[in-house]
Amino acid sequence: MSQTDFARTDVSPSPMVRLADLVKQYPGTDRAAVNGVSLDVARGEFFGLLGPNGAGKTTLLSMLCGLRQPDSGRIEIKGQDFRHAAAAAKQLIGLVPQELALYQNLTGRENLAFFGSMQGLQGAELNRRIDACLDIARLQNYSDRRAATYSGGLKRRLNLAIGLLHEPELLILDEPTVGIDPQSRNFIFESLRHLNDAGMTIVYTTHYMEEVEQLCHRVAIMDQGEIIAIGALNDLLTGRNGDTVHMRIAVALATDAPVIRALAQLPGVRAVQCVSQQLSITATEPLELLGKAMEVLAAHGIEALSLSVGVMNLEQVFLQITGTSLRD
């Protein structure tokens, strides 16, 4: 079996995932890790979940996979309420965790056999799934080597193969490319695109903005336990274009720096934000503002290394919304 054997099974417009008013607060904390989150993920969608450290992403994914119970709210997977059909709902889910979930002293094939047996697979069916997943991850030539001898990229590919053993309809990936080389990263991208093209619903969380821009159809940005922005990738990018000057400057600035105050006093300026060395100035007439802003920077001895007007990438959108770099 190859990647295309994960064929489309359902093209219904009803969502694969529906979360309604999810809340989770850990004992001894003063605020909820997840605070009233509601969202839908369509069947066959490639959905990105972004947020800084501590935003609540891991807690949200843990509840979605059934590893943690929400304090309140509702989780449906393909129309099945997790509270009443947890076993059936979990069978639809494949999880690829950030921490490598494999046994170093077992071979690749032995790892797949062990995890497959834990999921109830056996005999010819187990062997068929093992061969299919080795093919998907292109690990056939490494299947009889101990996982301890694998490179970081091979381990990530084995981690992915384990998550696919039971042919899930929903695949959840938490930082699946941490610490691997560009070739392995591109291979994982290619595999995920094939799986998604065949109909698999994918929820993908990462700190790398460019990965989301390459892969995802729709994106949610999470911060302090809440969804603060959600939409199609193009809508998130274009919806904030046109009125903002973006600059990368030579020094990092404090939020109360004199130059920030001076820029904020320019005619037509609505907002000024600087995170690390990324300076954004939102104005009614950004093109007319540009020359005056450059004069203010020069008067304060600050060099602009690059600039753009209007066009934003996803990292700039994130910084504008949250004021926090994902790579903090």
Supply the mean pLDDT for the chain.
87
Closest by CA to 38, choosing from 61, 51, 19, 17, is: 19
Which tens digits make up the pLDDT trace of 214-233? 999 999 999 999 999 898 88
Residue 107 has what DSSP assignment?
B
Residue 243 reports pLDDT greater than 80: no
pLDDT at 323: 66
Work out the pLDDT band at 317, boundaries 50, 70, 90.
confident
- Just give the CATH number of 3-237: 3.40.50.300
Higher pLDDT, 308 or 153: 153
pLDDT at 310: 66
pLDDT at 328: 44
173, 202 in Cβ contact below 8 A?
yes
Residue 98 has what DSSP assignment?
S
Domain range 242-311, CATH class = alpha beta
Higher pLDDT, 36 or 85: 36
- The mean pLDDT of 62-66, rounded to a whole number, is 91
- The mean pLDDT of 317-321, rounded to a whole number, is 71
Whole-number Å distance between alpha carbons of 137 and 246: 40
Which tens digits make up the pLDDT trace of 145-173? 999 999 999 999 999 999 999 999 999 99
pLDDT at 6: 45
Which tens digits make up the pLDDT trace of 19-60? 999 999 999 999 999 999 999 999 999 999 998 888 899 999
Higher pLDDT, 131 or 243: 131
- The mean pLDDT of 304-316, rounded to a whole number, is 75
210-213 CB contacts, 8 Å cutoff, 24+ apart: 210/314, 211/177, 211/185, 212/48, 212/50, 212/314, 213/313, 213/314
- The mean pLDDT of 85-104, rounded to a whole number, is 88
pLDDT at 12: 46
What ranges do the domains of the chain cover? 3-237, 242-311
Closest by CA to 159, choosing from 182, 125, 191, is: 191
Which tens digits make up the pLDDT trace of 283-294? 888 888 889 999
